């Protein structure tokens, strides 16, 4: 047998050692940047050295209750130091953090908790009630960790402990994860209505930081990031963790639900240089009474989650003097992969491919579309794309096709090379930048005794942002009470999923095979939200 030349390595790049938590935090401490400011939160501030200590304490706490490498840890927590340290601490020991929506009801949280098979659930006090209900639906859970004192009753056999009471041996070094080791799960409704976990690798975290954080925003150590999107979103965890920490910058965290007034307060006191939000929040800023010079010190605004209407872009620019970069990302891609560029914004478009990504438009037969102005399904290729969905083999095969990800969006390439979104390729819709499954809202409405049939479709509000509208056929003898049905949805679903208006229809338009003609309903409800009561919006 001929020996391999000494210069040839038999180690595949994907199996090279790499730990994202060490890359984001400890790397700066080792390089002498430990005293740089890393985190500003309501509960305090941390330098990179102090953040490293918090991450290792969280890692030790997880180990003390038996968390093993590649085991899932679910976190339903407010944006604060403990959530940040919990996510990074789990990665540090090779475990897989699963930050999940704090807007879930107990039943919704229970579904994803059971699906993940996580033994450990970390909870902020604000969400204890929902977490109690969730644990009851998830028999795998053995430990609940709380970030404060709050009553918490669960079944026998489940240990409920305080984060501060947990002690363990501080790990001397990170677990020997590889570039392809599982690092993070993020649940998404995505291209189907059922929650599913997109599984991401350690190397993907570095990739998105270099591709978008550096490649588009040109982030550096003097930047300070403020994100309306929370850490449990792919968008938010990039803005408030991956991007700033990759370059030794700082992040400003807000535990509470963001409002224009809260954001204005943070901008004034903490002076962020980068501001991240979704179109719905930019609209809220315009409708607020915050000062017009609020964002004078912010060098760049960013928008994602749903398409930013040109009118909103221009109004933000005119009133606040803030240029907003619109882009599209996905949970499956971990962050933004199409984006406008500073000083070169094409309003109404998602811009061009972010460095490191390739995009294609394909027709119904799968052929690549090369001419401008012709719509097609958007496909994406890039190394940050998830390895697949947890326990969703059929859906994984449909969405992850070789090197390519089928995004589920319909796009068109413009003459200048930018891409514009034309909507979803299926019936999914967004509200406030978050995917909403019409089927889930319809299921809830059908539980109401006055509803015989229902279809939920999107309609634009006064700012051009799509919101859910319910078309309801009442049972014989019943009447449609819009306020009652919207309240009914609020009680059983996360608030953002509620319909913003309810429209009474005698029957739902259907095809010969019985499928609802949603395009007809969208035309029927168009304009509904421009005249609906303010509370319904």
CB count within 10 Å of CB 363 equals: 12
Look over the chain and give the mean of its residue pLDDT values, rounded to a whole number. 92
Higher pLDDT, 68 or 167: 68
Let me know: does 496 contact 434? Beta carbons within 8 Å.
yes
| The CATH number, out of the four listed (3.40.30.10, 3.40.50.620, 3.40.50.980, 3.30.1330.30), of the domain defined by the range 14-33+48-179 | 3.40.50.980
Q: Name the pLDDT band for 534 (thresholds 50, 70, 90).
A: very low
Take residue 414 and report the two structure tokens written for it: 């413009």
Residue 7 in this model has a pLDDT that exceeds 60: no
Choose the weakest-confidence range: 184-198, 323-337, 373-387, 485-499: 184-198
265-305 tens-digit pLDDT: 999 999 999 999 998 899 889 989 999 999 999 999 999 98
Say how far apart CA 445 and CA 454 lie, in whole Å: 7
Q: Which of 390, 421, 394 is nearest to 407 (CA)?
A: 421
Quick one: pLDDT at residue 317?
97
Strands (E), 318-418: 324-329, 336-339, 352-353, 358-362, 376-381, 400-401, 404-413
Quick one: pLDDT at residue 13?
64
Residue 191 in this model has a pLDDT that exceeds 50: no
518-528 tens-digit pLDDT: 889 999 999 99
Residue 502 in this model has a pLDDT that exceeds 70: yes
Residue 192 in this model has a pLDDT that exceeds 60: no
Q: How distant, in Å, are the alpha carbons of 349, 415, 440 from that of 369?
A: 18, 13, 34
383-422 tens-digit pLDDT: 999 999 999 999 999 999 999 999 998 899 999 999 998 8
Take residue 257 and report the two structure tokens written for it: 């639900």
Quick one: pLDDT at residue 189?
64
Quick one: pLDDT at residue 494?
92
Mean pLDDT, residues 241-251: 98
- Total-model pTM: 0.84
Q: How many CA atoms lie within 13 A of 156 on its CB side?
A: 0
Take residue 228 and report the two structure tokens written for it: 């309306």
User: What CATH class does 200-424 carry?
Assistant: alpha beta
Residue 8 in this model has a pLDDT that exceeds 90: no
Choose the weakest-confidence range: 20-29, 88-97, 333-342, 448-457: 448-457
Q: Which of 499, 516, 498 is nearest to 507 (CA)?
A: 516
Mean pLDDT, residues 39-68: 97
Residue 70 in this model has a pLDDT that exceeds 80: yes
Mean pLDDT, residues 141-148: 96
Quick one: pLDDT at residue 306?
81
Q: Which of 436, 442, 455 is nearest to 524 (CA)?
A: 455
Residue 62 in this model has a pLDDT that exceeds 60: yes
CATH topology identical between 14-33+48-179 and 437-536: no
Residue 532 in this model has a pLDDT that exceeds 70: no
Q: Name the fold adopted by 437-536.
A: GMP Synthetase; Chain A, domain 3 (3.30.300)
Q: How distant, in Å, are the alpha carbons of 35, 64, 350 from that of 131?
A: 37, 22, 37
Mean pLDDT, residues 492-506: 93
Structural domain boundaries in the chain: 14-33+48-179, 200-424, 437-536
Residue 248 in this model has a pLDDT that exceeds 70: yes
Q: pLDDT > 90: what percent of the chain? A: 76
Residue 4 in this model has a pLDDT that exceeds 50: no
């Amino acid at each position: 047998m001929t020996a391999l030349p000494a210069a040839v390595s038999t180690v595949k790049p994907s199996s090279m050692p790499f730990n994202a938590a060490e890359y984001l935090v400890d790397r700066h401490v080792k390089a002498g940047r430990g005293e740089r400011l890393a985190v500003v939160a309501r509960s305090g501030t941390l330098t990179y050295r102090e953040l490293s200590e918090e991450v290792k304490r969280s890692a030790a706490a997880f180990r003390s209750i038996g968390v093993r490498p590649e085991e899932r840890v679910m976190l339903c927590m407010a944006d604060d130091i403990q959530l940040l340290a919990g996510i990074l601490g789990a990665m540090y020991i090779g475990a897989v953090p699963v930050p999940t929506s704090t807007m879930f009801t107990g039943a919704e949280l229970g579904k994803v908790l059971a699906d993940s098979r996580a033994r450990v659930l970390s909870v902020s006090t604000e969400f204890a009630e929902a977490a109690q209900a969730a644990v009851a639906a998830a028999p795998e859970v053995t430990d609940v960790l709380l970030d404060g004192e709050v009553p918490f009753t669960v079944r026998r056999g489940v240990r409920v402990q305080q984060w501060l009471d947990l002690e363990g041996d501080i790990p001397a070094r990170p677990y020997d994860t590889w570039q392809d080791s599982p690092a993070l799960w993020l649940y998404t409704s995505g291209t189907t209505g059922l929650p599913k976990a997109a599984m991401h690798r350690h190397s993907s975290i570095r990739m998105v930081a270099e591709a978008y954080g550096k490649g588009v925003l040109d982030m550096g150590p003097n930047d300070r990031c403020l994100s309306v999107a929370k850490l449990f979103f792919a968008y938010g965890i990039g803005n408030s963790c991956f991007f700033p920490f990759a370059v030794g910058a700082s992040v400003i965290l807000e535990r509470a639900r963001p409002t224009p007034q809260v954001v204005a307060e943070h901008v004034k006191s903490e002076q962020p240089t980068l501001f991240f939000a979704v179109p719905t929040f930019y609209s809220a800023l315009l409708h607020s009474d915050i000062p017009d010079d609020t964002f004078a010190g912010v060098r760049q605004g960013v928008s994602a989650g749903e398409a930013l209407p040109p009118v909103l872009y221009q109004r933000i620019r005119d009133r606040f003097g803030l240029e907003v970069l619109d882009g599209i990302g996905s949970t499956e891609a971990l962050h933004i992969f199409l984006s406008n560029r500073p000083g070169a914004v094409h309003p109404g478009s998602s811009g061009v491919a972010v460095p490191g990504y390739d995009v294609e438009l394909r027709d119904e037969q799968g052929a690549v579309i090369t001419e401008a102005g012709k719509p097609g399904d958007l496909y994406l290729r890039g190394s940050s794309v998830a390895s697949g969905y947890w326990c969703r083999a059929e859906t994984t095969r449909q969405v992850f096709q070789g090197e390519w990800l089928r995004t589920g969006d319909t796009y068109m390439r413009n003459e200048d090379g930018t891409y514009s979104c034309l909507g979803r390729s299926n019936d999914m819709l967004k509200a406030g930048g978050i995917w909403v499954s019409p089927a889930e809202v319809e299921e809830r409405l059908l539980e109401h005794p006055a509803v015989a049939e229902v279809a939920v479709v999107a309609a634009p509000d006064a700012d051009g942002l799509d919101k859910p509208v319910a078309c309801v056929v009442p049972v014989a003898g019943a009447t449609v009470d819009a306020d009652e049905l919207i309240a009914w949805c609020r009680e059983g679903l996360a608030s953002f999923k509620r319909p913003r208006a309810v429209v009474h229809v005698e029957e739902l338009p259907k095809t010969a095979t019985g499928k609802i003609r949603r395009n007809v309903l969208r035309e029927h409800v168009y304009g509904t939200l421009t005249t609906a009561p303010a509370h319904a919006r």
